[in-house]
Every structure is written in structure tokens, then in C-alpha cells.
């Protein structure tokens, strides 16, 4: 078989039914389904290029993600992940801004940037500048409220457990990526440096800005470091600054993404959590790790 269609249900709201699996199998003229997680995820192998309209018609409006991959070399050797709204549930800069009474204003700029409506680096400098003088205590208070995305721990631990190189690469700040990487076990992390004088934020960010081009460069660098081609990498993110790496990765996943990203990514996760990135590589839930 040449391709694999993976069905992944939003496990908080629904379960895969035999009828849905049969309809999807008929849509691709596929082999019998291989269960990856009972009621949550299955693989269906098939030969011919997929007809997305037929797949969509088979699933209807159910909260089920559909991802098609090549059958060979599904498991990837490098994982590169965005942080904000991907590995963690929040936009950390927006949450910092809440302590300055500027969350709504800064969140609006963040959204424009993530949609690709304004330049990422310019938007970052603008937002950080608005926080000049804010106590550094706001960083610790923000971290205390930061939550990991469901499935994040399994994604990192499982891929590391299968000898993949894992990297957290964010347009956010090293103050947070270091803590997230340490908590979840990422091999390395890269982000922007938020400048402060020991007491308060200076309103500046270290240069050069880590933007979409830097994320792509990191993907290429890590693939070279691991000695693999880009086809052996997986990149996951949600915003416009993730699009370049998502386009170039062997498995580029738009995760609950902004429209500009969802429109161009080859794989989308609209309903499920980050476990979907493992299912799309053919990992059964029984093989998932958390440490």
C-alpha cells in the first residue's frame, strides 16, 4: 500500500464508530482498519492518491481529523514544535500583558501577527515595547498559570523514546521555553530573549528576532545534525510564523491553526489533541510514553 489515512477523533467529545470507519475505508478503497486507540484513532492503508471530497463526505461534520501520509518512513527522526497555543494552551506574551492591564490590546496585535496580517518581528517589538517598566514578577506569575496542551507530554516523551531529536522553537521568549523544555523533556529550545534590568522589563527584545525564517533554518539545521533529510522531520505549529517550517517538514502539522496556516499545511489537526501527531506517524496508543 502507498498511503495511509489516519482517522483521529476528538476524544473529549466523540468516538469513532464502525460505520464511520467503514465509510472512510470505502472512500479510499482501503484495507481493513488498524486500530491505534480504541474509539479514538485508526489507520487505513490504501493505494491510489486520495480523493479529499470523498473523505470529507464520509466523515461529514463529525469531530474527526483526517490525515494522509505516505506508508513508508512515517515515523520521524526530528520533532520541531512551536510553543504558544501549540505546546502550551496560552499565548504567554498576552498573559504577561494582563499584569500591565494591556491584555486585550496586545492580544489583538498577537492575533494579527499569527494570521500573517502584520510582520512578526515588528509586532513583537511593538508588543514588548508596550510592556516597558513592567515588574519581572509578572513572568513568574504567568508561568504559574501556564498549562500544557493535552498530549504534549506524550508527544515529546514518545518521540524521544524512539530516538527522535526534539526541539521547542518559539517566537516567544527563552524565559518560558527553557521551563517548558525542562518540564516536558525537549532536547533543546530556542526563542527570543526578553530584556530586563533585574527588576523590570526594558521594553526591548534581543536581536536578531527568531521569526519564521529562523524556525525554518532551525528545522534544516536539526535535520542535518541528525543526518536525515527533511522528509524525516515533523513540524507542528499554529501561526503564520510557523508556516515555512510546516511547508518544508516531511510531516507538517497545522495544529488548531490560523486560516493562513490551515490552508497550506498538508496535515491538519482541527479537533484532536497533540496525540494526533503520534497517530499520524503510526504510533499506537499502547506505545505512548509520558517520561
The pLDDT score that the predictor gives to residue 99 is 97
The pLDDT score that the predictor gives to residue 242 is 97
Could you tell me the pLDDT band of residue 197, with boundaries at 50, 70 and 90? Answer: very high
The pLDDT score that the predictor gives to residue 217 is 97
The pLDDT score that the predictor gives to residue 119 is 94
Report d(CA 67, CA 17) in Å as an integer: 17
Nearest residue to 213 via CA among 201, 225, 221: 221
Each residue's pLDDT tens digit, 96-110: 999 999 999 999 999
Read off the pLDDT of each residue in 223-238 and give the average, rounded to a whole number.
Answer: 98
Each residue's pLDDT tens digit, 44-91: 999 999 999 999 999 999 999 999 999 999 999 999 999 999 999 999
Each residue's pLDDT tens digit, 263-283: 999 999 999 999 999 999 999
Percent of the chain with pLDDT over 70: 100
Domains defined for the chain, CATH in brackets: 1-72 (3.30.70.260), 75-291 (3.40.50.1000)
Q: What 3-state class would DSSP assign to 105? A: helix
The pLDDT score that the predictor gives to residue 94 is 97
Is 84 a residue of the active site?
A: yes
1: pLDDT strictly greater than 90:
no
Burial 149-170 (b: 16+ CB within 10 A, else e): bebbbbbbbbbbeeebbbbbbb
Average pLDDT over the chain, rounded to whole? 97
Q: Which of 10, 43, 65, 82 is catalytic?
A: 82
Report d(CA 56, CA 27) in Å as an integer: 9
Read off the pLDDT of each residue in 255-260 and give the average, rounded to a whole number.
Answer: 96
Give yes or no for a contact between 279 and 271, defined as CB atoms under 8 angstroms apart: no
Give the ranges where 60-209 is alpha helix by DSSP (H): 92-98, 103-114, 120-129, 137-145, 152-161, 174-184
| Radius of gyration for the chain, computed over Cα atoms and rounded to the nearest angstrom | 20
Each residue's pLDDT tens digit, 79-98: 999 999 999 999 999 999 99
Read off the pLDDT of each residue in 210-218 and give the average, rounded to a whole number.
Answer: 96
The pLDDT score that the predictor gives to residue 31 is 98
Q: Which of 10, 43, 65, 84 is catalytic?
A: 84
Amino acid at each position: 500500500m502507498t498511503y495511509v489515512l489516519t482517522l483521529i477523533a476528538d476524544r473529549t467529545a466523540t468516538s469513532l464508530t464502525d460505520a464511520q470507519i467503514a465509510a472512510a475505508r470505502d472512500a479510499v478503497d482501503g484495507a481493513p482498519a488498524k486500530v491505534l486507540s480504541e474509539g479514538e484513532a485508526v489507520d487505513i492503508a490504501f493505494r491510489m492518491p486520495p480523493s479529499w471530497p470523498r473523505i470529507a463526505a464520509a466523515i461529514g461534520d463529525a469531530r474527526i481529523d483526517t490525515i494522509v501520509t505516505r506508508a513508508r518512513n512515517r515515523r520521524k527522526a526530528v520533532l520541531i514544535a512551536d510553543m504558544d497555543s501549540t505546546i502550551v494552551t496560552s499565548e504567554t506574551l498576552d498573559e504577561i500583558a494582563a499584569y500591565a492591564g494591556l491584555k486585550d490590546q496586545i492580544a489583538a496585535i498577537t492575533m494579527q501577527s499569527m494570521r500573517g496580517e502584520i510582520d512578526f518581528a515588528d509586532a513583537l517589538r511593538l508588543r514588548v515595547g508596550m510592556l516597558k517598566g513592567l515588574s519581572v514578577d509578572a513572568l513568574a506569575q504567568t508561568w504559574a498559570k501556564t498549562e500544557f496542551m493535552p498530549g504534549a507530554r506524550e508527544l515529546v516523551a514518545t518521540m524521544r523514546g524512539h530516538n527522535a531529536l526534539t526541539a521547542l522553537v518559539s517566537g516567544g521568549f527563552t524565559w518560558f521555553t527553557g521551563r517548558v523544555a525542562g518540564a516536558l523533556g525537549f532536547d533543546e529550545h530556542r526563542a527570543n530573549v526578553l530584556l530586563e534590568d533585574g527588576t523590570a522589563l526594558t521594553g526591548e527584545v534581543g536581536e536578531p528576532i527568531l521569526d519564521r525564517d529562523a524556525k525554518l533554518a532551525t528545522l534544516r539545521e536539526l535535520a542535518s545534525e541528525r543526518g536525515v533529510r527533511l522528509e524525516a522531520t515533523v513540524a507542528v505549529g499554529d501561526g503564520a510564523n510557523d508556516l515555512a517550517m510546516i511547508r518544508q517538514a516531511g510531516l507538517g502539522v497545522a495544529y488548531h491553526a490560523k486560516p493562513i496556516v490551515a490552508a497550506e499545511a498538508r496535515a491538519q489537526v482541527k479537533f484532536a489533541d497533540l496525540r494526533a501527531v503520534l497517530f499520524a506517524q503510526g504510533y499506537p496508543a499502547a506505545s505512548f510514553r509520558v517520561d
